[in-house]
Amino acid sequence: MKRSSLTSGKESILVVDDDPGVLRYTKGLLEMNHYQVDTSTSGIEAAELLRNGAKPDLLIVDMAMPEMDGLRTIEACRRIRPDQKIVVLSCVSTPSLVVEAVKLGAMDYVTKPFYKADLDTMMNRWLSRSASAPAPHTNDCETIEGNACFVAASPAMRKIRAQISQLAKVDVPVLLLGESGVGKEVLARLIHKLSSRACRPLIKVNCAAIPADLLESELFGFESGAFTGAVRSKPGKFELCDQGTILLDEIGEMTPILQAKLLQVLQDGQFSRLGGRSSIKADFRVLAATNINMQEALQNGSFREDLFYRLNAFTVQTPPLRERRQEIEILVRHFLNEYSIKYSLQVPRHSPKLMAACLEYQWPGNLRELGNFVKRFLVLQDEDLAISELEDQRRALGTPPDSDYVKTPLNITSGLKSLVRNLKYSAEVKIIEQALVSTNWNRKRAALQLKISSKALRYKIKQYRISPPAVPRNCAFPLGAIRGNHG
């Protein structure tokens, strides 16, 4: 092959496949759209080309190749060029390979056998020059359902959007992690919308909002007479979402006993109603969401390891709003339009000063807090009041102190206010750490001991950068290291 073409000014594509027929077919389809196409018959050769300076705009890799398969090829090429755009060619019968490819950095996949339209759609998505429609991932809101929208203006959210477009097609569980209010439910709705189950129901169950003794009957249903007040039979959520998707929101709040039963259901796809004698089989996809620190929950035993392995076919970690500020202005516009229609109010004029205040604020409540702020601004129509509110909130939250402030000697020349503030921080950290240690880092019990809410404790832990003591290596479960089927 001609290495020089991969460094030319034209948009270039390197196709890697051990089948000469597929190479000729793919090359011909791409050249019809005037791309510069080169081919390679092995992953080893492709990695060597990149190592020697080749810089294709897109790498298309077959999953099933001898010597170095598609997964190892992706891994090797990403080590050489971390920013290399890669898509894979895969068969429908190997969804687990597609999921693994996404974990290694692949952005998309084309299913064999494929046609020109399939290839064109993929090229439109990932290359700047398009033969037809523009790329779908723009900075605008992507409507999902009703007023819900997904915004991908930051690199992190664009990456998540690319992952979801692939994961949606592969029927595996997905674990959605992130702080409260970051939009985990929106991600779940997008996965469902893009999946083959889109025409069937998506049912959400908030495991934290339903008392533990009622959650089991809510999930699995019950027969008449199963308990006092069960005057008629009722199907559970798993039964109702047959061939659809179930979202187990706040799954970290589920009791260990119920976690064990859920594990059995995920393994067998079968369950019984409370008071029932026969088993019910249902076809459903499980999405789970939580804002807890999953690694910490595994270490302290509040979340079952085997259930985590079942749910963790793929994990999506959604960053907080403060780490994707490119989206704040878009979300403000979206919320203004949404609420102006909902409340029949005119969208108020606002200056760059308000937007600057929004961009400076940390938004600890993420999208939920931003939405409520916009709602108040829309109703009151007072920009100065809105800016003042953000400034007051910022002062109330304070700037997180330096992680070493506890060890820093107190200096009276810094002033009385500063001295008192540092003493307050030091005392507060010490009390919180004592409560966490005494409860074996069970945040619910620690919050009760401190007489504050769990949410307030989570914020304090993050604000003061408090972390649990080191755990022996064989007791840790780093999320990124857990792969495959651990049944």
Residue ranges of the domains in the chain?
Answer: 3-126, 142-320, 322-397, 405-463
Query: In terms of DSSP bridges, do strands 284-290 and 174-177 run parallel, antiparallel, or are they unpaired?
Result: parallel
Contacts 24+ apart (CB under 8 A), 473-476: 475/299, 476/295, 476/299
For 142-320, CATH number out of 3.90.1150.10, 3.40.50.300, 3.40.50.620, 3.40.190.10 equals: 3.40.50.300
pTM of the model: 0.62
The owner of tokens 């898509």 is 87
CB neighbourhood size of 15 (10 A): 24
Q: Residue 118 forms beta bridges with which residues?
A: none
For residue range 372-427, list pLDDT tens digits in order: 999 999 998 899 999 999 988 887 776 444 334 344 444 444 455 555 555 666 77
User: Which residue in the block uniquely carries the two structure tokens 């810094």?
Assistant: 414
Check if 3-126 and 142-320 are the same fold.
Answer: yes
What does the pLDDT profile of the chain (487 residues) look like in tens digits?
444 445 444 689 999 999 888 888 888 888 888 889 999 999 999 999 999 989 899 999 998 888 899 899 999 999 999 889 899 887 755 667 777 888 888 887 787 777 777 788 778 777 754 433 333 334 456 778 766 788 888 888 888 988 888 888 888 899 999 999 999 999 999 999 988 898 898 999 999 888 888 898 899 988 887 777 777 888 989 999 999 999 999 999 999 889 999 998 988 888 888 888 888 988 999 999 999 988 888 988 889 999 999 998 889 999 999 999 889 988 998 888 888 888 888 888 878 888 888 988 999 999 999 999 999 999 988 999 999 999 888 877 764 443 343 444 444 444 555 555 556 667 778 888 888 888 888 888 888 888 888 877 887 787 777 877 654 444 433 343 333 333 3
340-359: per-residue pLDDT in tens? 888 888 888 878 888 888 98
CB 61 within 8 A of CB 37: no
SS3 content of the chain, % helix, strand, coil (to 5): 50, 15, 40
Q: Does domain 3-126 have CATH number 1.10.10.10?
A: no
Q: Which architecture does CATH list for 322-397? A: Orthogonal Bundle (1.10)
